[in-house]
Amino acid sequence: MTRFNGITLLRIACFVLLAAIAGGCNRGPEPRKYELKGQILAIQPERQELLVKHEDIAGFMPAMTMPYKVSDAALLAGKEPGDLITATLVVGETEAHLSTLTKTGHAAIEVPPTQPEVSALEMVQEGKPVPDAPLFDEDGKPRPLASYRGHRVALTFIYTRCPDAEFCPLMNQNFLAVQKIIASTPELSDVQLVSISFDPEFDTPAVLKAQAQRLKADPLRWHFVTAPAAAIGKFASLFGVTVTSNGTPTLIHNLGTAVIDPDGRLVKLYSTNQWTPAELVAQLKAAPAPAR
Ligand SMILES: [Cu+2]
């Protein structure tokens, strides 16, 4: 069941992430409009807000679950959780809302709704600084994201108990392959790999250290880190990664892998497992090398 949910999430998320997640370059006064297709998971009439699991929004955001305001409370009339919808998403400089909302059908909700802890506009954007996070490493030592400034960084989100070979174990194998490539590529000697667990209760520093050793992570290049439970969910949400517990050790989650430049700006975000070690290395090479 959980595996099914995981795969469903992946399928939903399995669209090409377009170059600009949110047009940091689109600074014009004209709001941008996008067609959105998805399913209502929850409605909060008092906030004029819907939680929508939506498909890829071409040019704006990969498939994910996000809260959206509606421009007019009347749009919510007759809508209920499970409804399949099409909508017009209007994105201004400081706010985003749905200006039309049409019910096209109804289906059972497959995945229990998880409210992301950030809004669409807070998501990391290519070319923009990635917010800091109070990470700590396999020795329990503070390793905030900001401490990686001056390095090109590839980070990904995992948890050590993940049973689904196509998810976290694949991210681990991919990072291992990237580690091998950078070890033999002098121009990438500054690169740091960071695997961030979103399961800090189980993934204590000792557990993370064992995982790092099992995977032969080079302590100079690849760290397994996490953050306090109160901070990790929000940080993961910034990358579109949401995590749902169903009461078992297995977590339902999606994926997020990012390349960050030496100034702490996002270069590239992959929101599925559809990337190869060679592609990630190419993104690292494309990022500016740190000043020496
Ligand atoms: Cu996983």
**CA 91 to centroid of ligand 1, rounded, Å:** 32
Q: Give the torsion sign (CA, 176, 180, 185, 186).
A: positive
pLDDT in tens, 230-242: 899 999 999 989 8
Q: Give the torsion sign (CA, 227, 229, 233, 235).
A: negative
Q: What is the DSSP letter of 150?
A: T
- C-alpha of 234 from chain center: 10
**CA 152 to centroid of ligand 1, rounded, Å:** 24
Report the pLDDT value the prediction gives residue 29, as an integer from 0 to 100: 67
Nearest of 48, 113, 116, 41 to residue 84 by alpha carbon:
41
Give strand pairing partners of 154: 193, 259
**CA 208 to centroid of ligand 1, rounded, Å:** 14
**CA 286 to centroid of ligand 1, rounded, Å:** 28
Q: Would you state the structure tokens that stand for residue 3, as one six-digit string?
A: 């595996």
Q: Would you state the structure tokens that stand for residue 193, as one six-digit string?
A: 């790999």
Q: Residues whose CB is under 5 A from ligand 1 (ion)?
A: 162, 167-168
Boundaries of every domain in the chain: 22-115, 145-286
pLDDT in tens, 56-65: 887 777 677 7
Q: What's the rounded Cα separation, in Å, for the pair 286 and 291?
A: 15
Q: 145-286: same fold as 22-115?
A: no
**CA 203 to centroid of ligand 1, rounded, Å:** 13
Report CA-CA distances (Å) from 147 to 11, 179, 231, 262, 263.
35, 20, 17, 10, 11
When mean pLDDT is compared across 75-84, 188-197, 279-288, the lowest value belongs to: 75-84
**CA 196 to centroid of ligand 1, rounded, Å:** 11
**CA 198 to centroid of ligand 1, rounded, Å:** 10
**CA 289 to centroid of ligand 1, rounded, Å:** 31
User: What percent of the chain is modeled with pLDDT above 90?
Assistant: 60
- Across the chain, what does the average pLDDT equal? 86
Nearest of 77, 67, 78 to residue 114 by alpha carbon:
67
Give the three-class secondary structure for 7: helix
Give the three-class secondary structure for 65: strand
Task: Provide the pairing of β-strand 32-44 with 83-91.
Answer: antiparallel
CATH of 145-286, picked from 3.90.1150.10, 3.40.30.10, 3.40.710.10, 3.40.47.10, is 3.40.30.10
Decide if domain 22-115 falls under CATH 2.40.50.320.
yes
Return the number of other C-beta atoms located less than 10 Å from residue 282's C-beta.
12
pLDDT at 74 over 60: yes
pLDDT in tens, 192-209: 999 999 999 999 999 999
**CA 255 to centroid of ligand 1, rounded, Å:** 8
